[in-house]
Structure 1
Amino acid sequence: MQYVDVASRLLLLTVFALALVSKVSSRRAWGEFAESLRAMAVVGDTKVPVAAAGAAAAEGGVIVLAAVPLRWAGSAAFILAAGLLGCLTVAVVMVVRRGNAVACRCFGASQTPLGLSHVVRNVVLVVIALLGLAGSLANGSFDPALSAIAGVFGAVLGLLITRWDDLASLLVSP
């Protein structure tokens, strides 16, 4: 189970790092992210800046906690990630049910509107966070070489998940 912990940490660290960088890389990126939250209409217009800052802070928290090689930090990272992803999933479901065409700004300047594939992606990430939490609570020894392999595996899967829209379009396109 320790390898699940390592792979899940690196996967979530990769996903949240790329998500955060895509939001804070420029004023324009931040503005587009905040505007997407406004268009989602899940919080009032006056609360959009607070929601945007809170989401960015939570993403940063996951990154920092996932990078700390202590059991409690990993557990905290998984709990924070699952909570944040759960909230984001509920918000996406609300947008999809209303039929709003809101661009997904999770990983940058995508024009892909939020849809069922984003719900699936977020649920997959919640499951990974919960599996990582279970792995972080398990005791036992582990091999550093296998841990490195698990970490690389997790990071590569994290990179693939950040390209979810592209992968989903490949599967759906005629």
Structure 2
Amino acid sequence: MEYLAFGCQLLVALVFAVSVASKLRGDRREFVESTRKLLGALLPSGRASTAAARIVAPVVVAAEAAVVVLLIPAPSVALALAGLLLAAFGVAIALALRRGVAAPCRCFGGSARLSGWHLVRNALLLGAVAAGLTLDPGPFGAAEAAGLAVTAGAALAAAVVVIRLEELGELFGPRLS
């Protein structure tokens, strides 16, 4: 079980780290604009100000970075924060899709627009968070290095799939608009 917990923690850390790096490397104005559109999907009026998005966007990046940083000293706290973020993102995405808001996703460099594949990705990550929280064995001192290395490789492969899920889904899966 400790290997599965480690794999879940590493998967979450890798996905959040790539998301943070993509947002920091990308066009800040585009990220603020997509944040504004998603905030608008959450509001009954459907409108959100750019000023609010300018506040929320860096808070989102900081919270995602905190997940990555906290996974080593406090994995349960980091996973709980990741779960809260993923739930909030899921609600925003679902409402945006339901209301027909054409907001691009800027999590991993940007996609043309949100789709159901973004909800699938969040659900998979929430599953990893839940497994990581449920199976948390504490320090991995008793684990064998070879087992951790194999688990890290599997987590890396899973992270690549999760990060590129909407592209893979659009290519090989059903259309989830």
TM-score, with length taken from structure 1: 0.88
User: Larger deviation: 100-109 or 137-146?
Assistant: 137-146
Q: How many percent of aligned residue pairs carry the same amino acid? A: 32
SS in 2 for 1:136: coil
What does 1:1-174 align with in structure 2 at a 5 Å threshold?
1-26=1-26, 29-40=27-38, 41=40, 42=42, 44-45=48-49, 46-66=51-71, 68=72, 70=73, 73-111=74-112, 113-137=113-137, 141-172=142-173
Quote the Cα distance in structure 2 between the aligned partners of 1:106 and 1:139.
30
TM-score, with length taken from structure 2: 0.86
SS in 2 for 1:130: helix
Quote the Cα distance in structure 2 between the aligned partners of 1:118 and 1:75.
24
Q: How many aligned residue pairs are there? A: 167
Amino acid at match of 1:23: K
Q: Quick one: structure 1 residues 51 and 166, their matched pair in 2 at CA, closer, same or farther if it must change by over 3 Å?
A: same
Quote the Cα distance in structure 2 between the aligned partners of 1:5 and 1:51.
31
Gaps of 5+ in 2: none
User: Larger deviation: 121-130 or 143-152?
Assistant: 143-152
Report the aligned-residue RMSD. 2.0
Return the offset for 1:137. 4.3
- Residue pair 2:5, 2:136 contacting (<8 A) in 1 also: yes
SS in 2 for 1:142: coil
With a CA cutoff of 8 Å and minimum separation of 6, indicate the structure with the bigger relative contact order: 1
Amino acid at match of 1:37: T
Kindly indicate which of the two structures has a greater share of residues assigned to helix.
Answer: 1
- Residue pair 1:10, 1:152 contacting (<8 A) in 2 also: no
Quote the Cα distance in structure 2 between the aligned partners of 1:138 and 1:61.
19
- Residue pair 1:3, 1:135 contacting (<8 A) in 2 also: no
Alignment deviations for residues 78-129 of structure 1 (CA, whole Å, 9 cap, x no partner): 1111111000000001101101221111111321x11211111101101111
- Residue pair 1:75, 1:137 contacting (<8 A) in 2 also: no
Return the offset for 1:63. 0.8
- Residue pair 1:37, 1:52 contacting (<8 A) in 2 also: yes
Quote the Cα distance in structure 1 between the aligned partners of 2:174 and 2:78.
36
Greater than 6 Å deviation, 4+ residue runs: none
